Structure 1
Amino acid sequence: MSLKQIKEPNKENVQESPKAENTPSADRPSVNEIEKELLRLQKKQSRNRNIRYIIALAAVAAATIIIVTNIWLPVLKIVGSSMQPSIQNNDVVVCYSGTKQIDYGDIIAFYNNDNVLLKRVVGMENDVIDINEAGEVFVNGQLIDEPYAYSKSLEPCDIEFPVTVPKDSFFVLGDQRNTSHDSRTSSVGMIPVERIIGEVILRVWPIEHIDFL
């Protein structure tokens, strides 16, 4: 058996494979860059969640305010001068809905046809009300003290005194008696509870005159 001569490879034709470089590729982010990007995304997601939470909270608060101010605490802007000096024209007041807490001397808001009026409670059910020519008010035969009354007058008046306040009703007067249309007139009359919006408890505008009433 003959042996073939094994030729050594031509060293000139042998090419060495290029050595892999240890430096990272320019297209591949480093671990540090990846960590920074993940942290940025986490912060962005957290910020977006906070914004959504604030928006949702604001929406709930706005809805609550609307419900409260329409049902329990109606807000009214005053037009007119019949309650001066206690309440001025363009004042903004807050009412407390309900009638159980209403007492003598309280200011109430109520519907009169298509208007909303504010007057002060002078008489309640079964009270006998009388007003003399000088504008002095008597309840059940007793002259009442009215420090809030800016002027006292019988007019304007188109009803006969004395009168008895019906059940579940109120007799009301404005503080500015000579310009106020109130229970002395047949166009307003006695105020039944179903027409009452509530007791006026707080003035909120103008800011410098914020006060409980």
Structure 2
Amino acid sequence: MGSFILELVVIVTVGLLITTLLRAFVFQPFEVPSGSMENTLQVNDKIVALRVIDFKRGDIVVFADAHRWLGAPEEPGPGRRALEFVGILPNSSEGHLVKRVIGLPGDRVSCCDELGRLSVNGVPLEESAYLFSDPSGQVKPAEKPFEVVVPAGHIFVMGDHRNASGDSRCHLQDVSMTGGPAGQGAFIPVDAVVGTVTMIMSPLNRIQWFETPDAYAAIPPPTGPAPAEGEIVRVSDGC
């Protein structure tokens, strides 16, 4: 009996160690906390973020709240924190956000053309494949005009449910926490990205894999080097 218990303890310990290593270096589970990515992601969906060095325009990413868009995070209890650490429970997303990458360093992102579309480096994006549509079937890429150039080492992100997403558009006039020009908090440091969302793993009726949308294949590279600070060329009140 004693040898059985010892063997069981060893198996459980090794299993937890493997899970912890996978979570630290390969993937991390998260739980979607809001409707900002509807209908691509629903509230309480359990998603998997693959820890990768590189990602592309159009990918969905999870990132740490480097600019405190969410305010001061609330810490979960020690029990849940321990289960999140070993990967048994998904990260409760306190202090993390999930959005779609629209602009990479050096990209010029602007809104909107005569058809109401976003443009990246002068090329309009056809986003109907993933944007939230209201009951009438209308899809709104954005409502307020803006134009920015993404700084080096940063990305510009937006939610798929544009009317319910406090994303980069909404922070283009924020006062910088570092004392720099206003609006720098709209750009997310690449170092804050935890990983690319590769799949919904729960609930079972929503399991699906994600790939980069075809709409981004036509976007050309930036015409020049990325600036040291984000350029706010044009901005409107609100988002």
Structure with greater contact order relative to length (CA < 8 Å, sep ≥ 6): 2
Normalized against structure 2, the TM-score is what? 0.62
**Structure 1 position 196 matched with structure 2 position 193:** yes
Give the distance between the partners of 2:57 and 2:126, measured in 1 at CA.
11
Which residue, out of 152, 164, 170, partners 2:140? 152
Question: Could you say which residue in structure 2 is the equivalent of 1:11?
Answer: none
- Local SS of the residue matching 1:55: helix
**Structure 1 position 68 matched with structure 2 position 22:** yes
Question: Could you say which residue in structure 2 is the equivalent of 1:15?
Answer: none
- Local SS of the residue matching 2:169: coil
Give the distance between the partners of 2:157 and 2:116, measured in 1 at CA.
14
Residue 198 and residue 135 in structure 1: after superposition, are their counterparts in 2 closer, same or farther (change >3 A)?
Answer: farther
Give the distance between the partners of 1:201 and 1:210, measured in 2 at CA.
11
The aligned amino acid for 1:121 is: V
**Structure 1 residue 153, shift from structure 2 partner:** 4.5
Give the distance between the partners of 2:57 and 2:207, measured in 1 at CA.
23
Normalized against structure 1, the TM-score is what? 0.69
Residue 76 and residue 85 in structure 1: after superposition, are their counterparts in 2 closer, same or farther (change >3 A)?
Answer: same
State the Cα deviation string for residues 143-191 of structure 1 (Å, max 9, x = none): 1121211142434x6xx73211111211111100111111112155111
Residues 99 and 193 in structure 1, CA contact (< 8 A), matched pair in contact too: no
Q: How does 1:3-152 map to 2 (within 5 A)?
A: 49-100=3-54, 102-112=55-65, 113=68, 114=73, 115-132=95-112, 135-146=116-127, 147-150=129-132, 151-152=139-140
Give the distance between the partners of 2:206 and 2:126, measured in 1 at CA.
25
- Segments of structure 1 that go 5 or more residues without pairing to the other structure are 1-46
Residues 110 and 197 in structure 1, CA contact (< 8 A), matched pair in contact too: yes
**Structure 1 residue 71, shift from structure 2 partner:** 4.1
**Structure 1 residue 48, shift from structure 2 partner:** 5.1
**Structure 1 residue 51, shift from structure 2 partner:** 4.8
The aligned amino acid for 1:170 is: I
Give the distance between the partners of 2:28 and 2:147, measured in 1 at CA.
34
Report % sequence identity.
29
**Structure 1 residue 72, shift from structure 2 partner:** 2.8
**Structure 1 position 175 matched with structure 2 position 160:** yes
Residues 118 and 142 in structure 2, CA contact (< 8 A), matched pair in contact too: no
Q: Pairwise CA RMSD of aligned residues?
A: 2.1
